Structure 1
Amino acid sequence: MSLIDALPDPATYDLTGTGHWPSAFAVSELATASIAAVGVELADYMQAAGLVTQAPAVTVDQRLAALWFGYSFRPEGWEMPSLWDPIAGNYPSADGWIRLHTNLPRHRAAALSVLGCAAKPEAVRAAVATWQGDDLEQAIVTKGGAAAAMRSRDQWLAHPQGQAVASEPLVQWGQPRAIAPRALPRATASRPLAGLKVLDLTRVLAGPIATRTLAGFGADVLRIDPPGWDEPGVIPDISMGKRMAMLDLKTAQDRSRFEALLSRADVLVHGYRPGALAALGYGQEIRDRIAPNRVEVTLNAYGWTGPWAARRGFDSLVQMSAGIADTGRSWAAADKPVPLPVQALDHATGYLMAAAVISALNAATRQDNAPQARLSLARTAELMASLQGSNSGPQITAAETGDYAAAIEQSGWGPGLRLKPPLSLADTRMHWPRPAGKTGSSPAQWTA
């Protein structure tokens, strides 16, 4: 049994719909192929699990796939909060450009501490202008913040981290184990992952997309956040189909509850940087002891080897580091960084993570060893850079009314419309009976 390590052959799925995002890169092609990867792996799994006698045909709607790389949810009668902190963004430095990521309070505090200025965009702009980009990037990262100077593609490919990432596989498989998959009596051809317990320890944005995808095919996804955590500009888009709970892993009582949850999980998906779970007391050996039959998939920002393997990062920062924003600048004949039209690295990595989960389940179902999978935003960036864009069909700029399902979703914030699903497998359709809910809105327990 082979495990997913590349995008699927286009001959293994059908395309409907047309359209593309305007970009210097093959964003729409990446959307179509990464979502197709989920379908191709799921079709094989359905056959291996005995849910169908023959693997069903996989169909991806090209337009909807592209749109799902943006926001899938449109509020009706209210507005979602801004995704970005007021001082997050791109600033001209003394020798180029740098992006500050300040959505998290600790990252904001780190940047302001280094810059020594007020928390106002104009003050930040003036302070950044006195710094060399690389020096400011390093100072903020050293302080525990998140920032990225803009590099060209050539500079990135010559950089030690760029070279390390380029040598990594798209999906790194390691630590193979013999897994005895738990029986899933509620699974059917229409809901092939029903009853699968997925413990979600992820944050914005790739990991939540992975678990949202699994929930769309019936998985029981339980997300655990620390007390007080919120991502108001993101949660309505990625929490449907999930139960959102909170635990404080620094307290004995919540650690005990977490370990009980982990012991019953079929799948663990997390986005902790290397060593972070071990620092909490849940290193590899401990996880293997608590949940020996789990499938595990994880991600980080800048890859798993090289000097930046443990660096904090986000889609927008990787775009700056890896030459994407600079390539966009040249393509658009602009005098500032031009990012992708959507956070494509997050979305593609998320779908590939979901595909990796299903691929490992497939291996275990066929009684092969199931290794753990590791992915990164930076490696997905290299994948995207290798793709050729066709620019076929009309240019996509935003979702239209006909792109949304007719039913109103009563989210935890208010009513809204959800995009129609982009992926189907014959009669198997993605859907999320549970609407999007707020963090901490569910108890930390499995449904059964």
Structure 2
Amino acid sequence: MNDMEQLRQSLLKIDDLLASCMRCGNCQAVCPVFSQTCREADVARGKIVLLQNLAYELIKDPKAVEERLTRCLLCGACEHNCSTGVKTLEIFVEGRIALTQYLKLSPIKKFIFQSLLTHPKLFKNAIRTGSLFQGLILRRQKNKQNTATAPLLKPFLGARHIPTLPKKQLSEKYGVLVGDKSKKYNVIFYPGCMSDKVYTQIGDAVLSLLFHYDVGVIMPDDFSCCGLPALASGDKNGFDALVKNNIGVFERIGLDHGVDYVVSACPSCTETLHKWWLQLSGNYSLKERDVLQKISAKAIDMHDFLYNVLKIDTSKTTPKENAAVITYHESCHLKKSLGISKEVRELLKLNENYVLKEMAEADKCCGCGGSFTLTQPELSLKIGTRKWKNIVDSGAEEVVTACPACMMQIADMLGRNQTDIKVRHSLEILAETLTAGK
């Protein structure tokens, strides 16, 4: 399919999806971008007006269209709060696909999405090399977030605090895991890029919990990125290549017998496996779509699996008198897209060394949105600063979230403001109970 035919199909999809918007403005009340700018063009309703005339606007001023469509975190708050069920996320994704088909990808993004990420071994080697030589570029900060700044990359990253890379990636530490059919449940663990290559402690926690609860674990060492970063940039070609790479891995494992679930500790990955892979596979083969149907049906967040499938009892644990205070930031994709909220809070109760104190606006976006932090740095910083203030005001010693991307954004905000609060994944808190003999 050539680019013009892809563009035509994207425009037709957008037209079909726009019909249900009543312009009621419910999206305005929950949009984190609008809360900072108060610009109608930045809220879902304003973007929908733009997309109704997308073909004309692309010809008239494509750069203006790009600016408006990228001022969106794809957090899903507007869709979650829409009384008429407008599929705003799908609309904006299709809009970005159409925009990229018209303007084309930058050479850097094209290399990352279509060359680096589509070759897992190359990506692993690049991260391994980066880990060895990161000391030449990064300046480690003395803080609880274990972040670093990159003075040499200031033109690109600004004053951003970024996580340092581990010595070993998760797949290097554990190798290939093949499961155990004698167990009640066998799951495929899809770690995603962040848990495999950056925050490997999340992967450690997932595997510790699965082993402890006697679950058979299948984990190959050649999964590709889920494709969400490419999709958020409108790169349908890169997204398709990544999805098809992963289809090949799942086909090799086999999904028909002996695989009960596909679990992940990254809600963005889980949402992508559950929703986007199948939803955007209209031009795939019947065989490929059949595999995606099975993946979609089995994809589940790790908290959902522990609480609703394994049915772990959380009723018998109470915090110690001297328990440390933690607060919880809700990931947009976990709550608004996957509907998982109380499960995390209930599971956190299992660790009696901590007591949960709610922060204000716990489910308000932290301002990450993947590449949004790079394309809209000022907006990302403003939204993130609001989250930082809420964390500090809670009086917590640690902030917990269930999303690796949120961890990165929150650690950046805390690091920039020299705030002595630790950031951890919720599954790390839960896994601690195992080492404490719980």
Q: Same fold (TM over 0.5)?
A: no
Q: TM-score, normalised by structure 2?
A: 0.24
Structure of greater relative contact order (alpha carbons < 8 Å, 6+ residues apart) = 1
Choose between structure 1 and 2: higher strand proportion.
Answer: 1
Choose between structure 1 and 2: higher helix proportion.
Answer: 2
Q: TM-score, normalised by structure 1?
A: 0.24
